[in-house]
Structure 1
Amino acid sequence: MTGRVRRAGAFALVGSLSLAAPLLGPAAFVPFAAVGLLAALVIDEGRAFDLFARPGDYEERTLYGLAGFSLAATALALLVIVGFPPELFAGTVCLLAGGNLAQQAVTARTTDDLPTTAGFATGGFLAGLGAQLVVTPFSLGVAPAAAAFLAACGALIAALLRAVLYQRDDPLVLLSVGLVLWVVSDLGIVTTGLEVVGAIAVTALLGYVSYALGTASIPGMVTGMLLALVTIVLGGYGWFVLLIAFFAIGGLSSKFRYDRKLARGVAEDNEGARGSGNVLGNSAVALVAVLGYAATPDPLDVPPELFFFAFAGAIATAMADTLSSEIGGVYDDPRLITTGEPVPPGTDGAVTWQGELAGFAGAVAVAIPALFLFEAIGSLGAVLIAVGGVAGMTADSLFGATVENRWLDNQGVNFLATLVGALVAVGLAALAGLF
């Protein structure tokens, strides 16, 4: 057993203190506060120090890693006093500790990003689920299917944060995962074990294929998996079809004549593999729409159809904009959308007629499945979704020509464009009396 695996095992043992949360009640923070104080002020040598010390801890003879982890757990435990579910507290702490242990075990054999990330996510899921199920009989309880969904979401969120942050930022990861899962659990998740198992299997397959095809980086892959999982469980497989259409077609379009786009300076970085910022910029509005749909009718008391049109309009925009830029970028004679003057390829806000046509086709490629999967929206609803997509694509070009690289980066522009597409689809559907 390597030193890193032993250290991760010791951290997991400390994390298991969270299982006493329902028995300790408001005093659930005490064990972690005690460990944190010992790590920061008392233990500066000996076998215990060597067991928990990270390389940087030796210089100042202080267990900063253990102190940070314990004090972050203390902060989460204090929230139990104001309603943070004990099973969710235990699940979050064990998720991070168990995921880290699994990742270190994999790292002892290989340092490749995919297996180590998969090891963390799998170990974190199992530890988080197990902790929730152990604690539930002693607390208010959570259904096993909902516990599995929360554990899977937490594992993916933690894996994503760890992929973009440093290992010393684990306390931030712990707090972030706990708070996000608290919000999601308050939605009143209604699902079945079979649905969650199916969702996890589908999203795992999606992640592997996107990474294997080179359409997503590790952070982009994990972000896409998280969005897919939330969409399937909280929205349904019909919503997921629209999302996966964007991921599949949009991802592959980045490979279209990549060498030519690279030579022209308009290609995506990392050989077309999209990162988490790109995925979130295009999908954040859709994610909020899914969460809003899951929260209806209480407490928002708004028609659930509103959130569907927002979701579909945002996805149609993302699809239209992606195809417009990825396909239009290989053609000559782009023109600035605001003035019509010829500009060099890759200029923000530049369009070609071929790109505009591809973007229109992308919006329709989302609207048509929506029509067949959600017959209640009718042909008019499908048309309005496509119109929302084209409006959002046009807004993206306008934002690109006016504010991009001045006040906003590309991800910010993508977010605003999908927001425009969502609002246009919702507004037109409301005027048409579709909800």
Structure 2
Amino acid sequence: MTSTLRRAGGFAVVGTLALAAPELGRAAAAPFAIVALLAAFVVDEGPVFELFARPQDRRDGRLNGLAGFALAATGLALLSTIPQRSMPTDVFVAAVFVVAYGRVGARVVERLDTTKDPGRTTAGYGIAAFLAALVGQLAVGWNLGTPPALPAVIFLAAAGALVAALLRSILYARDDPLVMLSVGLLLWLFDAIGVDAALPEVGVALAVTVALGYLSYRTGTASVPGMVTGVLLALLTLVFGGVGWFAVLIAFFGIGGLSAKYRYEEKRSRGVAEDNEGARGSGNVLGNAAVALVAVIGFAASGSMPMDGELFRFAFTGSLAAAMSDTLSSEIGVLFDNPRLITTLKRVDPGTDGGITWQGYVVGVVGAAVVSGVAVGFFAFGSPWLAALAVVAGGVTGMTVDSLLGATLEGGRVGNQTVNFLGTFAGAVASAAFAALLL
């Protein structure tokens, strides 16, 4: 085995200590706390040090990577033993196993794959993390005598693997403690919301979203982080929302991704083409869909909140209508000459932040109408025409806000992703507000 694969195996062995949590009870954090102390202050040479040491560890003379990994596991273990509303033990084990075994999968693929395709490495990480989290949850349930529901187990394992794979694709190896803590807290939230879907529905949701993610990566419409982000968003939308929510999301991703490829060479010659051959990265995906994700999670949790779940539905569709409007108006509008700055109507160069063309604006309105049509087709709105109007109004509002922010704030510390997020947020608020007034 290569040194990196041996090291990954060593971390997996340490992570397996999480299985002792049901037996240890309130002392579940003890094994990881001991490992952290040994790594930070005791082991500075010998075979154990050589097994776990990264290059920076050798320079520092202590196992910082192992100490950080063990401390993160210690923190999650403590959360699983607090007196009230503690993190479920199976969630704690799943979070540790996702990180501990995910890296083993990635290292195995790296060793076997001669092409060094980052997509395959990420897939290896995700598959190993998913299987480990699945086995870990089932083992805890068997040990405690309370087998968890299989749909929830599969969903949490998949969600944890995708979150970890996403963070791993954009962070450094030394950031594993952050990955573990993030996975643990998110899985705790998802577990608290609950999974009402049946096993076939969860299985189909996972298969469909992974297949679409693979297709988006192979067709060049998404980078590796963008692919993983899209799969995660789609899975959460299908499980917490349903087919209608998923259809709206896919309409945006599909049409928006194709619009980035539309007449790409002409856009490149004009100097207004997106980087990376138009492939969406994680920042682009989250900038356009983070508000929608919050809305679908809010809808799933609305049963225990003093809020109307229907407003979350309009916030979801309004945010994606805004994202669709902005994407199409930008990708199509840059192909036309004589754009004008939205704040002054003075002519500017194509691609200038805040620059608009009437053709692009019209296409943006059409994009909002497409999202509206999909939403009305799948959702049982009491008054379809008023609901459609609310969604279109949200989309156009978000597109306009995005252009205004682009003309006034974008550049320097405020980037395009932040502007996209604010535009979709404006679309969500506007759509929900119009729905509250009209319906």
TM-score range, shorter chain: over 0.9
Gaps of 5+ in 1: none
Write out aligned runs for 1:374-389 (5 A).
374-377=379-382, 378-389=384-395
Give the secondary structure class of the aligned counterpart of 2:350: coil
**For 1:334, which of 335, 339, 348 is the aligned residue?**
339
Aligned residue type for 1:304: G
1:349 pairs with 2:342: no
Residues 360-413 of structure 1 show CA distances to partners (whole Å, capped at 9, x for unaligned) of 111111111111111324122112211211111111111111121255211111
Normalising by structure 1, we get a TM-score of 0.97
Q: Which moved more, 1:155-164 or 1:34-43?
A: 34-43
What corresponds to 1:39 in structure 2? Answer: 39
Gaps of 5+ in 2: none
What corresponds to 1:419 in structure 2? Answer: 425
Give the secondary structure class of the aligned counterpart of 1:81: coil
1:132 pairs with 2:111: no
What corresponds to 1:60 in structure 2? Answer: 60
CA RMSD of aligned residues (A): 1.3
Report if the CA contact (8 A) 1:87-1:141 is conserved: no
Write out aligned runs for 1:189-200 (5 A).
189-200=195-206
What corresponds to 1:231 in structure 2? Answer: 237
Residues 265-317 of structure 1 show CA distances to partners (whole Å, capped at 9, x for unaligned) of 2211111111111110100110010000000221x122211111000001111
**Where in structure 1 do 4 or more consecutive aligned residues deviate above 3 Å?**
137-142
**For 1:367, which of 363, 372, 387 is the aligned residue?**
372
What corresponds to 2:271 in structure 1? Answer: 265
Report if the CA contact (8 A) 2:151-2:195 is conserved: no
What corresponds to 1:25 in structure 2? Answer: 25
Write out aligned runs for 1:281-360 (5 A).
281-298=287-304, 300-360=305-365
How many residue pairs are counted as aligned between the two chains?
432
Aligned counterparts of 2:103 and 2:412: Cα–Cα separation in 1:
40
What corresponds to 1:77 in structure 2? Answer: 77
Aligned counterparts of 2:147 and 2:36: Cα–Cα separation in 1:
28
What corresponds to 1:13 in structure 2? Answer: 13
Aligned residue type for 2:105: A
Aligned-residue offset at 1:50? 2.1
Percent of residue pairs bearing the same amino acid type: 56
Report if the CA contact (8 A) 1:25-1:80 is conserved: no
Normalising by structure 2, we get a TM-score of 0.96
What corresponds to 2:100 in structure 1? Answer: 97
Aligned counterparts of 1:86 and 1:420: Cα–Cα separation in 2:
39
1:172 pairs with 2:178: yes
Aligned counterparts of 1:375 and 1:71: Cα–Cα separation in 2:
49
**For 1:119, which of 121, 124, 132 is the aligned residue?**
124
1:108 pairs with 2:114: no
Aligned counterparts of 1:5 and 1:341: Cα–Cα separation in 2:
59
Residues 12-33 of structure 1 show CA distances to partners (whole Å, capped at 9, x for unaligned) of 1110100111211111010011
Aligned counterparts of 1:342 and 1:54: Cα–Cα separation in 2:
55
**For 1:399, which of 405, 413, 427 is the aligned residue?**
405
What corresponds to 1:204 in structure 2? Answer: 210
Aligned counterparts of 1:356 and 1:86: Cα–Cα separation in 2:
52
Aligned residue type for 1:330: L
Aligned counterparts of 1:112 and 1:339: Cα–Cα separation in 2:
47
What corresponds to 1:2 in structure 2? Answer: 2
